[in-house]
Structure 1
C-alpha cells in the first residue's frame, strides 16, 4: 500500500515523522548498556547475549517508535482526539471486547466442563468439532454472516417471501452490521481460545478434590462453581485475554460490519486522513490497553498456585447424562460449533465450488502463491529467531537474556495496525537517509529499500508471531536434559556445535510444530499485510478483503475456503495435544 519512491511520494507527515526519531538512538544505547551490565555468570558464550540484544532491539523498535511519535507530534491533536474520535472508539472497542469475552467465557468454559466431566450423545465427536472454528478468521466469518443475514441475503428474502413483507419497514430483523452483530460473529470463532485452555485445566485437576466436594454435599453445579472454576481461573483468564487481544487486533471484520473500533480508527486516521501523528497517538492508547490487559490477567491470579500431591492419576469418572439432560448437553456444546464453523463453511463452500474458475482468473493463484511464499519465509525466520532466544536462555541464564525472551514473546499482543506504524516510520527514515547519501555522493536515487517491501512485511510477521513459535521450541528444549550439554562440552564441543549436533536432531518435532503454527497465522494475517505490503502484492487475506469490500463475495469464497482449510491442520493437532494431555486419562 505504501511502496512509494523516496521523498516525493511519502504520505503526509511520514517524512517529518521519520526525522523525529532521534530519541531511538538513545534508547538503543541504553539497551546495549544493559547488555554490558546484564551478562550472567556464564561468560563462555557472550555472543549469545549480543545476539539476544540485537533481536530484542529489533522487536522493541515498533513499540519505541510509537511512543516517540505520540510524544513528539508535529501538531498537538490530543484535544481533538479526546473530544471527538477517542471516546466513541474506546466505547465501541470496550463493548465489542467485553461482549465477545463474556460470550466466549460462557460458551468455552461451559462446553469444556461438559466435555471433560460428562458423557452424552455425540460427546467424543463434539470434543474434536468444538476447536474447528479457530481455523476461521474473524473477517471471513463476518463476510459470511453479512451475506447470510443482510437485507438481500437468503434469510430475510425468505421471510419477505413467506410472510408477504414488501419493505424493510414492514418487519423487524436484527442488524448484523452492528456492535451486536460483531459480538456474535467474533465470539462464534474465538471461543475455542477459552475452550482449549479451560479443557486443559479441567482435565488436569485432581479427581480426589472434586470427589471430596461431592462427599461434603456439594451438587455437581456447586462443585463446578466452588472448586473446579476457581482452580481453572488462571487458565481461563489467559484464554479470555487472548480473545480480547484478537478483538483489539481485528480490522477486516469491524470495518465490514461498520464498527468504529480503535483498530479501524487508527487505519482510517493514517490512510484516509493522512495523519500519522494522530494514528500513532491512537496506537499508544491501544498499547496502554494491552498493557492493562496483561496487568489485569496477572492480578486475576493473585499469586495463587495449585498442584497435585501425587504422581499417580486416576481416569476421570465420567457422569452419564441420559435422556433430555444428555440431549440438552449435546445441544449446548453443538451450538458454538454450528455458529462458528458450519454456518461460515455452508455459506462459502457452494460459492467456492460454483465460482472456482472465475476466482482463479481473478487473481486467486497469484495471491495463494504469494501467501505461501511469505508465510513460509516468515515461519523459517521466526523458527530460527525463536530457537536462538530459547537456546540463549538455556546456556547463558542471565536475567537480561531471560527477560529478553519474555519481552520477545509480547509481540503477539501488538495489534497489526500498531505494528505497521511502528515499523514503517523507522524503515522509511533509514531509506531516506540512504537515498540522501546516494544522491549527494553519486547522484543516484535508491528509492525505498526496506519500507513498502517484502522485508518490512516479513519482519512484521516475525515480530507478531514469534511467541507462537517460541512456546513449542522452549518447551522442547526444556525436555532435553542439561547432562547432554555438559557431556558434549567435556568432549570439547562449543555451544554452537552442541546446538547443531545434539539439540537440533532432538528438536525436529517442536520445530516443525512451531513452523506450522507461524505459517498458518501468517496465511490469515490481515491488518499488518494491508498496511505494509508492496504495490500489486496480494496475499489470500488481502485478496479476500478486497473482493469483499467490492461485495464480490462469490469470487472471494475460494480464497476464504482455502484459508480455512489450511488453518484446520494446526487446530486439530493442538486439540490432540490438549485432549490427551492428562496422564492416566482416556479422552
Structure 2
C-alpha cells in the first residue's frame, strides 16, 4: 500500500504539479486565517456585538435587498426588450448597456453625493416645520436612496448580461406554443421566459450581492456603516485587529453561503428546451411610440449608471485639470501602473503554471487545489487584506524573534502584491483555463513524441496558441488591480498612493472637482476591461 502510494506521488508530483500545490495552499492561508478568526472571542468583541454589530448587519442586508431589487428592475426589462424587439438604437443599446461596469461604485458616489448638498435647504425647511426626528428620517432616506440608485445603476449589468444571454438562447417554438394557448407577449415573459431565465437571474444577482458586500468607498462616502465599513472602523478607529478579523470571518461566511446556495440553485435547475432544433426567435419590430418607449427603457439605467456620472466627471476634469497634473500626480499614476503591471504579470504566470500543470496531470485532487486556491476572488478585498495582514504580522514576529528586526514584511510592496495574488487569481485563471482547454492534446503528444520535453512543448506549442488569451488575462487583472480600493488602502505602504486612493482621498477632502481626473483614468481602464471581455467572449482563441 505504501509502495503504491509512493509510486503514485512520484508520478503525479513533479516540477509542475508540486509548485502548483504549494503555491495554491499558500494563497489559501489568508482565507484560512480569517476562517479561524471566527472562533476568537474577547471583551472587545463582546462590546462590539452589543453595540454596533447589529447595525452593521442590518445596514448590509438592507442595502443588499434594495440594490439587488433595483438592479433587477433595471436589468431584466432591458434584457427582455433587447432580446425580443428591434427598435431604433437596438444594436447600440445591446452593447452600451454594459458600460456602467466600467465605473467603480466609489467613483459614481463622488458624483451622486452632490445631490445631498443640493437638498440641504429643503432638509432645513423640513427640520424647521416638522422637527428634528422627521429631518433625520428624511436625511437617512436621502442617503440610502441615492446610494441604492448609484450602486444599482452601476451593478445591474451583471444581471443584464446573464439574463440577456438566457433570453437570447430561448427558442421560437416555446413562444409559439405559448401563443397558441392564448398568452400575450408579456404573459409569455412572466410564464415562460422569466422562469427559464431564473438560474441566470440568480447567478447575476449573486454577483451584485457580493459586490454590495465588498463595497467600501461608496458606503463610506455616504456614511452608511456596513460590515465592510465596520472592518475599517474597528481596525483603524479602535485599533482592534482581533475584532476586525472576526468581522472579516463573518463577511466571508456570508459570501460563501451565498455562493453555496447559488451553486445549489443552478444544480437543481433543470429546464428542458425542446426547441433546440427549431429556428431562433425573430425580433419583433417596434416603431413610433412603442420604439421610443423601448429605447427609453434602456436609456434610463444607462443614463443613471454611465452617461450622467461620466458627463459630470468630464466637466469637473475640464475645470480642474490644471490643479491636478503635478509631479505628485505623475508619481501616483506611476505607482498604479507599476503595481498593476507587475502583479498582472505574476498572476498571468501563476495561471499559466496552474493550467499547464492540470493539463499534464488531469487528476481530480490537483484540479480541486487550483479551483479552491482561486476562492479569494469571492471574498471582499477588505477580508483578504485582514487575512494577509494577520499572516504577515505573524511572520514579522517570527523574523524579529530570530533576528534584529531590521527586515519587516509589513508595509512593503511584497505584502500588497501577495494580497493581489490571493484576491485576483481567479481573474487570470479562468481565461487561461479556457484557452488551454481549447488546445488539442494530440499537439502535445506529437511534440513529446518528437523528443521535446514538457517545457519545450509549452514554449513552442501552447504559448503561441495562448498568446491572445494570456494578453486578455493580463488586461483583466491589470484593470481590476487599478480600480481596487479597500485592499489597497489597508495594505499600501506609508505615503504610497494609487489612482484609486488618490481619487478617494481628494473626494474625502472635499476637492470633488480634482478627483475627476484620476476617476476618469479609472473609468478608461474599466472600459479597456470591458472591451477585453467582449473580445474574449465573441472572438475566442482558435
Task: Provide TM-score, normalisation by structure 2.
Answer: 0.91
Q: For the residues of structure 2 that align with 1:577 and 1:213, how far apart are their CA atoms?
A: 36
Q: For the residues of structure 1 that align with 2:26 and 2:314, how far apart are their CA atoms?
A: 41
1:375 aligns with: 340
1:167 Cα offset (Å): 5.2
1:204 Cα offset (Å): 2.5
1:550 aligns with: 509
2:317 aligns with: 352
1:432 Cα offset (Å): 2.6
For residues 258-297 of structure 1, give each alpha carbon's deviation from its aligned partner in whole angstroms, at most 9, with x where no partner exists.
Answer: 1110000011101110001111111111011011101221
1:102 aligns with: 69
Alignment of 1:385-464 (within 5 A): 385-439=350-404, 445-448=405-408, 450-464=409-423
**Local SS of the residue matching 1:467:** helix
* Structure 1 residue corresponding to 2:425, chosen from 445, 461, 466: 466
The total of aligned residue pairs comes to: 530
1:340 Cα offset (Å): 0.5
Q: Describe the shift of the 1:290–1:125 C-alpha distance in structure 2 as closer, same or farther (beyond 3 A).
A: same
For residues 438-461 of structure 1, give each alpha carbon's deviation from its aligned partner in whole angstroms, at most 9, with x where no partner exists.
Answer: 22xxxxx4242x221111111111
Alignment of 1:331-342 (within 5 A): 331-342=296-307
**Local SS of the residue matching 1:56:** helix
Q: For the residues of structure 1 that align with 2:521 and 2:176, how far apart are their CA atoms?
A: 46
Q: For the residues of structure 2 that align with 1:466 and 1:542, how far apart are their CA atoms?
A: 22
Q: Which moved more, 1:354-363 or 1:56-65?
A: 354-363
Q: Describe the shift of the 1:53–1:541 C-alpha distance in structure 2 as closer, same or farther (beyond 3 A).
A: same
**Local SS of the residue matching 2:386:** helix
1:566 equivalenced with 2:525 (yes/no): yes
1:311 Cα offset (Å): 8.0
Task: Provide TM-score, normalisation by structure 1.
Answer: 0.85
1:261 aligns with: 226
Q: Describe the shift of the 1:166–1:257 C-alpha distance in structure 2 as closer, same or farther (beyond 3 A).
A: closer
Q: Normalized per residue, which structure has more helix?
A: 2
1:202 Cα offset (Å): 2.1
Q: For the residues of structure 2 that align with 1:41 and 1:438, how far apart are their CA atoms?
A: 37
**Local SS of the residue matching 2:373:** helix
Q: Provide structure 1 residue ranges, at least 5 long, that are not aligned to the other structure.
A: 1-35, 440-444, 582-587
Q: For the residues of structure 2 that align with 1:374 and 1:343, how far apart are their CA atoms?
A: 30
1:146 equivalenced with 2:113 (yes/no): yes
**Local SS of the residue matching 1:178:** helix
Q: For the residues of structure 2 that align with 1:276 and 1:183, how far apart are their CA atoms?
A: 30
For residues 504-550 of structure 1, give each alpha carbon's deviation from its aligned partner in whole angstroms, at most 9, with x where no partner exists.
Answer: 11011111111111111111000000000001110000001111111
CA contact (8 A) 1:40 1:397 kept: no
Q: Describe the shift of the 1:391–1:306 C-alpha distance in structure 2 as closer, same or farther (beyond 3 A).
A: farther
Q: For the residues of structure 2 that align with 1:455 and 1:547, how far apart are their CA atoms?
A: 26
CA contact (8 A) 2:28 2:422 kept: no
**Local SS of the residue matching 1:218:** coil
Q: Describe the shift of the 1:179–1:383 C-alpha distance in structure 2 as closer, same or farther (beyond 3 A).
A: same
1:21 aligns with: none
**Higher relative CO (CA 8 A, sep ≥ 6), structure 1 or 2?**
1
CA contact (8 A) 2:428 2:474 kept: yes
Q: For the residues of structure 2 that align with 1:367 and 1:550, how far apart are their CA atoms?
A: 17
**Local SS of the residue matching 2:326:** helix
CA contact (8 A) 1:188 1:340 kept: yes
2:90 aligns with: 123
1:93 equivalenced with 2:60 (yes/no): yes
2:465 aligns with: 506
1:56 equivalenced with 2:24 (yes/no): yes
Q: For the residues of structure 1 that align with 2:280 and 2:535, how far apart are their CA atoms?
A: 17
Q: Describe the shift of the 1:253–1:292 C-alpha distance in structure 2 as closer, same or farther (beyond 3 A).
A: same
1:174 Cα offset (Å): 6.6
Q: Which moved more, 1:354-363 or 1:570-579?
A: 570-579
2:496 aligns with: 537
Q: Describe the shift of the 1:377–1:344 C-alpha distance in structure 2 as closer, same or farther (beyond 3 A).
A: same
For residues 410-437 of structure 1, give each alpha carbon's deviation from its aligned partner in whole angstroms, at most 9, with x where no partner exists.
Answer: 2111111111110012112212322332
CA contact (8 A) 1:142 1:185 kept: yes
For residues 62-87 of structure 1, give each alpha carbon's deviation from its aligned partner in whole angstroms, at most 9, with x where no partner exists.
Answer: 112123334245x3444323322221
CA contact (8 A) 1:62 1:423 kept: yes
CA contact (8 A) 2:37 2:249 kept: no
CA contact (8 A) 1:177 1:257 kept: no
Q: For the residues of structure 1 that align with 2:221 and 2:6, how far apart are their CA atoms?
A: 48
Q: Which moved more, 1:526-535 or 1:416-425?
A: 416-425
**Local SS of the residue matching 1:297:** helix
1:79 equivalenced with 2:23 (yes/no): no
1:329 Cα offset (Å): 1.3
1:272 equivalenced with 2:237 (yes/no): yes
* Structure 2 residue corresponding to 1:242, chosen from 183, 202, 207: 207
CA contact (8 A) 2:111 2:313 kept: yes
Q: Describe the shift of the 1:198–1:184 C-alpha distance in structure 2 as closer, same or farther (beyond 3 A).
A: same
Aligned residues: CA RMSD? 2.6
